[in-house]
Amino acid sequence: MTMTLPQRRLGGNGPYVSAIGLGCMGMSDFYGQRDEAESLATIAHALDRGLNFLDTADMYGPYTNEELVGRAIKGRRHQAFIATKFGIVRDPNNPAARGFNGRPEYVRASVEGSLKRLGVDHIDLYYQHRVDRSVPIEETVGAMADLVRAGKVRWLGLSEASAATLERAHKVHPIAALQSEYSLWTRDVDESGALAMCRKLGVTLVAYSPLGRGFLAGAFKSPADFDADDYRRHSPRFQGENFARNLALVAKVEAMATSRGCTPAQLALAWVLAQGEDIVPIPGTKRRKYLDENIGALTVKLGADELAALDAVFPAGAVAGLRYPEAMMSGVNG
Ligand SMILES: NC(=O)c1ccc[n+]([C@@H]2O[C@H](COP(=O)([O-])OP(=O)(O)OC[C@H]3O[C@@H](n4cnc5c(N)ncnc54)[C@H](OP(=O)(O)O)[C@@H]3O)[C@@H](O)[C@H]2O)c1
């Protein structure tokens, strides 16, 4: 039986989605061991619980994550709201390298691949994954708008775009969502003005990595907790001295969660949810157990005093280390 969850709206006059989404990336890439059966069961369980907002991208895998989501929604397409992305180009010979492509012909070719892998006739929300600074945003979004007119895509989004880029894009075609990293330990959209621009334009912020890639959930106590091929081993916040300093911050979140009667993951998600009705976090997990726990965050309502207390123990800028390896930072706020 499908249940309902609180909903939030994408864009000023856009569609309603569950107030928490499900990030599917880690099911296929970046976060160590894969378990396809449990991943499929997690997506099915999400839909059963009324969590319909599923997040993937062509570069996760690459490609295999869209295929996995496609298998999971087979026969249940009408229950799912599928968001996918194009624009990050990976080099099979160098998995760490990233290129960005926002050329119109690339947009047109990419959507066909995503539709096929997902096994759908339209994508609900199509994002440019990273701004390609060598192509005017008007050209990229113009090509994306053509996809809307062709019925291949319903709504448009950008990921990690700056306030200025978002404003230019929105003039070409309404942008329903900006997907950027946002959590207790990543407040860049507050500081850069991107969230303020979202609010000016009526664009919803889809908050990715709202659990700090799992760190804020308190599940990791040492860099050795990660598999050898786990991306986080190479991420500055998860290394050496940074890891230790960040662990001390999370210990305070854990203590607050204990006294509040919730888990640290729920507290971290409740903080994101409390920043505004126009924000939708998409925590990632490949397990039904964590999914249920994360949905439980919807009932953790933080009052002004609790939010202030949380901000006091984990203030903006307190985190140690960049959120991406140096070379990848040039891709954000584009
Ligand atoms: N636009 C972009 O550039 C971009 C970048 C990164 C991510 N994303 C999207 O955002 C989604 C979410 O971000 P994310 O996956 O990077 O980070 P996240 O949601 O902050 O954290 C995911 C990690 O937290 C763990 N976790 C989840 N719930 C937990 C709980 N209740 N207790 C303990 N641990 C828990 C997961 O473990 P298990 O995996 O073991 O379940 C996983 O290791 C991704 O799946 C992806 O779709 C987008």
The closest-lying atom of ligand 1 relative to the alpha carbon of residue 216 is 20
Residue 73's pLDDT is 98
Residue 4's pLDDT is 86
Residue 165's pLDDT is 98
Residue 1's pLDDT is 58
- How many Cα atoms are found within 13 Å in the side-chain-facing hemisphere of 134? 7
Residue 318's pLDDT is 95
Any idea what the Cα angle at residue 330 is, between residues 183 and 115, rounded to 5°?
Answer: 75
| Closest to 82 measured CA to CA, from 108, 117, 48, 109 | 117
Task: Identify the residue whose C-alpha is closest to ligand 1 atom 48.
Answer: 208
Task: Give the C-alpha separation, 223 to 303, whole Å.
Answer: 34
Q: Could you list the residue range(s) of the whole structural domain that residue 155 is in?
A: 7-212+271-303
Distance (angstroms) between ligand 1 centre and the Cα of 208 equals 8
Among candidate residues 60, 126, 231, 290, the one labeled active-site is 60
Distance (angstroms) between ligand 1 centre and the Cα of 25 equals 7
Residue 207's pLDDT is 98
Task: Evaluate if pTM is beyond 0.75.
Answer: yes
Instruction: State whether the beta carbon of 230 lies less than 6 angstroms from ligand 1.
Output: no
Contact indicator for 158, 175 with CB cutoff of 8 Å: yes
Count of domains for the chain: 1
CATH number at residue 20: 3.20.20.100
Instruction: State whether the beta carbon of 24 lies less than 6 angstroms from ligand 1.
Output: yes
Regions of the chain with pLDDT less than 50: none
Contact indicator for 266, 300 with CB cutoff of 8 Å: yes
Query: Got the DSSP string for 173-203?
Result: S---EEEEE-BTTB-HHHHHSHHHHHHHHT-
Residue 327's pLDDT is 86
The Cα-based distances of 317 to 55, 191, 249, 292, 322 in angstroms read: 27, 10, 12, 30, 11
Instruction: Look up 31 and say whether it is catalytic.
Output: no
Q: Is residue 325 part of a domain?
A: no
Instruction: State whether the beta carbon of 110 lies less than 6 angstroms from ligand 1.
Output: no
Instruction: State whether the beta carbon of 220 lies less than 6 angstroms from ligand 1.
Output: no
Q: Is residue 65 part of a domain?
A: yes
| Closest to 80 measured CA to CA, from 112, 45, 36 | 45
Q: Is residue 85 part of a domain?
A: yes
Q: Is residue 250 part of a domain?
A: no
Q: Is residue 160 part of a domain?
A: yes
Evaluated on CA atoms 318, 320, 324, 328, the torsion sign reads positive
Q: Is residue 322 part of a domain?
A: no
Evaluated on CA atoms 328, 329, 332, 334, the torsion sign reads negative
Q: Is residue 151 part of a domain?
A: yes
Q: Is residue 334 part of a domain?
A: no
| Closest to 72 measured CA to CA, from 50, 33, 45, 51 | 45
